[in-house]
Amino acid sequence: DEAPQAQIERILAIKARFGDRLLLVAHHYQKDEVFQFADATGDSLKLAQIAASNHTAEKIVFCGVHFMAETADILTSDDQTVILPDPMAGCSMADMANSYQLTTAWQALTAQYGSSIMPVTYVNSTAAIKAFVGEHGGVVVTSGNAPKIVAWALQQAKHVLFLPDQYLGRNTAMALGVPDSAIGLWNAQDGRLENPGDYRVILWNGYCSVHQQFSVAQIDQLRAQYPGIKIIVHAECKHEVVTAADAYGSTGDLIHYIQQAPKNTRIAVGTDNNLVGRLIKTYPEKRVMALNPYSCACILMNRIDLPHLAWTMDQLAAGKPANVITVAPQTAQWAKKALDRMLALS
């Protein structure tokens, strides 16, 4: 029940006391009440790069979701502690692939394709999935580097298993020239390939509950209402949505598009509405709007709020860090292989 102002002042005071020994990072989808404290902000790729290159912070307060904090823990050294202000801040897409399902898929697919298949996982996956991928010669991608890294994977292997996001996988593969007929779909719940065949890319059937809500009808409606409007969407949107948009990419790519657009351009953005709201305020000279003002922000990202952050900082100040995210060494070691391959290729 404490007043927000008191929480804000405490967070600032604790940050000042720690100085460089504490790094607070925030993903673009974080609420403004949390985002305002960030020493660094970014998309998943940038935040992973920041974690990998920071050697001074003893404590990293990660305002994002669980898989991002796990990735930071894997990429930082053992004496750096990663803290997620609410450990319940997960990612529904990351939860759509577990180790049992992946082992089942791998057995079936290697029985069919032999060793000519490479696993590629979106960073929105658990550390255990990244470890499996690392151990089997595969690589991690983010939405910011997917085209480059999937192109590399397609050069290395005759077949690619892409998980967990079927839409990012399809958007990326088709942009690289893989035809629809060469893309298969793995049904993770039933443990089988839909319409068995000889596919170049096999997609896992996961998706993002926020981004799958955007539709071509929303795009058509805005184009009819505002002739000349530009529509940009996140790469996790459905293929027909990405195709109907003017541009798509990671959160970092969407921000970059707005920064580069001429003054007064009207731009509708299809992504989490915490980010869209911030873009509207930050770039008043561009007429930014939400592709769907009724679509929600990511409820999992939203779990990190001012009270959770203030409590986490209090625990740190008291010398009792809470909500520490630690990936088991064996898992971390293999997951790091897949992440390091990604960072080297990015």
Residue numbers in the known binding site are 27, 44, 91, 122-124, 143, 208, 251, 298
CA–CA separation, 345 vs 293, rounded Å? 36
CB of 140 to ligand 13P, least distance (A): 12
CB of 209 to ligand SF4, least distance (A): 6
Contact between 91 and ligand SF4 (CB under 6 A)? yes
Contacted entry of ligand SF4, ligand 13P, none for residue 209, CB cut-off 5 to 8 Å set by kind: ligand SF4
> Binding site residues for iminosuccinate, as ranges?
27, 44, 122-124, 143, 251
CB of 122 to ligand SF4, least distance (A): 9
Q: Which stretch binds ligand SF4 (CB under 6 A): 191-199, 221-229, 282-290, 294-302?
A: 294-302
Contact between 121 and ligand 13P (CB under 6 A)? no
Contact between 292 and ligand 13P (CB under 6 A)? no
Contact between 165 and ligand 13P (CB under 6 A)? no
Give residues in contact with ligand 13P (CB under 6 A). 28, 43-44, 124, 142-144, 208, 234, 236, 250-251
Give residues in contact with ligand SF4 (CB under 6 A). 65, 91-93, 124, 208-210, 236, 272, 298, 300-301
